[in-house]
Amino acid sequence: MRRREFITLVSGAVAALPFTARAQADGIKRLTILMSVADDPEGQARVAAFRQELQQLGWAEGRNVRIEYRWGNADAGRLKTYAAEMVTAAPDVILVGGTTALIPAQKATRSIPIVFVGSADPVGQGFVERLPRPGGNMTGFTIFEASLVGKLLEALTQIAPGIARVALVHSPTNSNAADYWRSLETLAPTFNVKPVPAPVRDADEIERTFTALAGEKNGGLLVPPDAVTTAQRGLIIALAARYRLPAVYPLRFFVTSGGLMSYGVDNLDLYRRAASYVDRILKGENPGELPVQAPTKFELAINLKTARALGLEVPTSLLARADEAIE
């Protein structure tokens, strides 16, 4: 016999029946997707990859699952409001894209199952107790590690061997920013470059920061992933071109948008994999028993047109390693 879910708000959290007892009266499962990024082609591509895989697993929108979408556009206030709205609606599962969205989602509920894509250090950030058995109401897929800073730095100095300074362009509200900076500081001497902190919060700050960076010669950029750099990628790429600053990015879509080079995870693959966890939870499994998974697919992309515009010659060894070379 089904037990009806009973929800009470206690100190901003939700108390509810066990995960296996969740059910909707009409038999249709409800899923809410909370994305920290904007509702643009890249955000839509992530959701499309997830939905396609979910459909392959037998879930058809309108037949046995109903999906609602919330797009945060890197706005912390908006994401907090959306998280509260989602908890009130009490979906069966919440899919969260990006750490900026995961923080308010965690604060809003400790009972509704959450599958996340995007946290770099879910244990250190307090989202889960441990990776093999996360406990609590959430599990998911990590998207970036501070150790990747070394690979980004290596690629940047290979394609632009004349650089002497590397600025870390990042949002200071990114909970992983300190780890990225420590990695850059530690590794910079190995590549004979000076690390430069470049925190940015919005478009105006990005403009001022790039103007200052362009005032010194032989500079380059390293851009780790966060909601701000993703939302403002068009501006960042345009300013890097204007000031002739070689830049390396974390994800392929920066390069397809005109950026010089990227090395990082296959982001769409993570969203496809997330569908398998949503499927298992909708079928009754406990998210706290599903291990947090790390990326398994990485890709190197180079924009040859941008390289030529910057007067850079792509080394044959680097080009041979590239998964994609864009003309």
Kindly list the structural domains of the chain, giving each domain's residue range(s) and its CATH number in brackets, ordered by start. 8-143+266-296 (3.40.50.2300), 148-265+299-326 (3.40.50.2300)
Contact 300, 293 (CB under 8 A): no
Please check whether residue 113 is in contact with residue 92, taking contact to mean a CB–CB distance below 8 angstroms: yes
C-alpha–C-alpha distance, residues 160 and 302, integer Å: 13
Centre a 10 Å sphere on the Cβ of residue 171 and count the other Cβ atoms it contains.
24
Q: Which two tokens stand for residue 233?
A: 């990628």
Q: What pLDDT does residue 325 have?
A: 96
Is 44 in a helix, a strand, or coil?
A: helix
Residues in the chain: 327
290 neighbors 280 (Cβ within 8 angstroms): yes
Task: Give SS3 for 163.
Answer: coil
Instruction: Give residue 280's pLDDT.
Output: 98
Amino acid in position 324: E
- Do the Cβ atoms of 157 and 195 come closer than 8 Å? no
Give the Cβ contact number of residue 11 at 10 Å: 7
Per-residue pLDDT of the chain (327 residues; tens, 9 = 90+): 333 333 333 333 333 334 443 445 578 999 999 999 889 988 999 999 999 999 999 999 999 999 999 999 888 899 999 999 999 999 999 999 998 899 999 999 999 999 999 888 899 889 999 999 999 999 999 987 777 889 999 999 999 999 999 999 999 888 778 888 999 999 999 999 999 999 999 999 999 999 999 999 999 999 988 888 988 999 999 999 999 999 999 899 999 999 999 999 999 999 999 999 999 999 999 999 999 999 989 999 999 999 999 999 999 999 999 999 998
Write the CB contacts of 35 (distance below 8 Å, at least 6 apart in sequence).
43, 46, 47, 69, 70, 71, 72, 96, 97, 98, 101
SS3 130: coil
Q: How far is the C-alpha of 101 from the C-alpha of 83, rounded, in Å?
A: 8
CA distance 269 to 44: 14
Measured CA to CA, the distance from residue 83 to residue 94 in angstroms comes to 10
Return the pLDDT at 230: 87
- The span from the CA of 36 to the CA of 49, in Å, is 17
Contact in structure between 262 and 248 (CB atoms under 8 Å): yes
- For residue 280, the surrounding DSSP H or E stretch is helix 267-282
What is the CA angle 290-228-242, rounded to 5?
Answer: 135
